[in-house]
Amino acid sequence: MSNIRLGILGATGVVGSEMMNIIQEKDIKFKSIKLLASEKSAGQVVRYNNEDIIIEEVTKKSFNDIDILLVAVSSSISKKFTPIAVEKGVTVIDNSSAYRLDDNVPLVVPEVNSEDIDNHSGIISNPNCSTIIAVTALNKLNEYAEIERMIVSTYQAVSGAGAKGLEELKDQVNKLENNEEIKSEAFQYQIAYNLIPHIGPFNEVGYSEEEMKLQNEGRKIFHKPNLKVNCTCVRVPVYRSHSESITIETKKDLTVEKAREILSKSPGVKLVDDPSNSKYPMPLDTSNQDLIFVGRVRKDISSEDNKSLTLWCCGDQIRKGAATNAVQILEKVIEKKAYRN
């Protein structure tokens, strides 16, 4: 039995609940676990490892008996409670965007840059889901050929917007089939049978907040401050798992054959690349598991040299894109004894 006292803030949400599931799957042992949420969720009973645990309302006093805190709440709530936890000596693994671009906070995908954990000062940040999927797929290709530029389109499932996104798609499909009036609250427009090229507010040059994350976070994770990324993010009527079309330009030559060889051995990646037999990554196949499926690896025919490739990847953004990545960071923190209390 570990002496670690664990806390989960946002334990009743989609990602927080998934964190608990993954911790049980991995059979990670702790001295104690405290589940925290809003006043609205306080008092609920959660079954965990054959025990009933009562959800507690998070307050400033909630962190006195916690060593490591997993945070699965909004940025605003994280900014309110994470500093309090850190002040009390807690090591925080934050899934929100609150501290991702803070120079003093490591932004970690364990398969890519687990060594950055060693430099934390109380907070370790979990990247955006689309960023995690992309950098996991590309990491070993980058190590071999040095990626300099990326052109990316993401096709993001409604569960990326949380439980409200899932429910809205289900509700709209049901009502449209029965010729009933629908409402659009989680998204700007009807999402059923539609695509919406708008995730987050737009900046002054027309790129959304979500689109800028892949460049800004990718630069930090890869330690490549000059990495160039052009990204378009689209919400699609898929329940779970994000998909990404990625074209990379590299400093060194990278053939399709070499890329496939590298991808077949990349941690966290499953190569599914046999288009002649209709085998390639799809959201249905990648949901409820933790690998990033990569396929459709092909030469960029708009480039005359061997320094540009295109590929397609899919990954479960609730698991590897959020909860699993955080739990993997947790495992590394324990392994490295990098917690503070």
Report d(CA 96, CA 319) in Å as an integer: 14
Distance CA 231, CA 212 (A): 7
- Cβ–Cβ contacts within 10 Å for residue 159, how many? 25
Provide the token pair at 298. 């092909």
Q: How confident is the model at residue 18 (pLDDT cuts 50, 70, 90)?
A: very high
User: Does 50 have pLDDT greater than 90?
Assistant: no
Closest residue by Cα to residue 321 from 145, 154, 90, 146: 154
When pLDDT is averaged across residues 255-269 and rounded to a whole number, the result is 98
298-333 b/e (C-beta count within 10 Å ≥ 16 → b)? eebeeeeebbbbbbbbbbbbbbbbbbbbbbbbbebb
Q: What is the mean pLDDT of the segment spanning 41-59?
A: 91
Q: What single-letter amino acid sits at 73? A: V
Residues 60-65 have a mean pLDDT of 94
Name the token pair of 138.
């590309």
* Among 86, 32, 85, CA closest to 61: 85
Catalytic residue among 120, 231, 233, 242: 242
The distance in angstroms from the start CA to the end CA of the chain is 17
- pLDDT reported for residue 210: 96
Per-residue model confidence (pLDDT) at position 341:
66
Average pLDDT over residues 156-183: 96
Residue 1 scores a pLDDT above 60: no
242 counts as catalytic: yes
- Distance of CA 108 to CAs 97, 219, 220, 304, Å? 13, 12, 9, 35
3-state class (DSSP) for residue 313: strand
pLDDT tens-place string over residues 210-240: 999 999 999 999 999 999 999 999 999 999 9
In the chain, the domains with their CATH numbers are 5-127+322-336 (3.40.50.720), 131-317 (3.30.360.10)
Amino acid at 136: T
Q: Give the Cα separation of 240 and 237 in Å (integer).
A: 9
Distance CA 36, CA 69 (A): 10
DSSP E strand stretches across 121-263: 123-125, 147-156, 228-235, 242-250
At 117 the pLDDT is: 97
d(CA 272, CA 263): 10
pLDDT at 228: 98
User: How many Å apart are CA 18 and CA 233, to the nearest integer?
Assistant: 24
Is 136 within 8 Å of 315 (Cβ atoms)? yes
* Residue 120 among the catalytic residues: no
Type of residue at 245: S
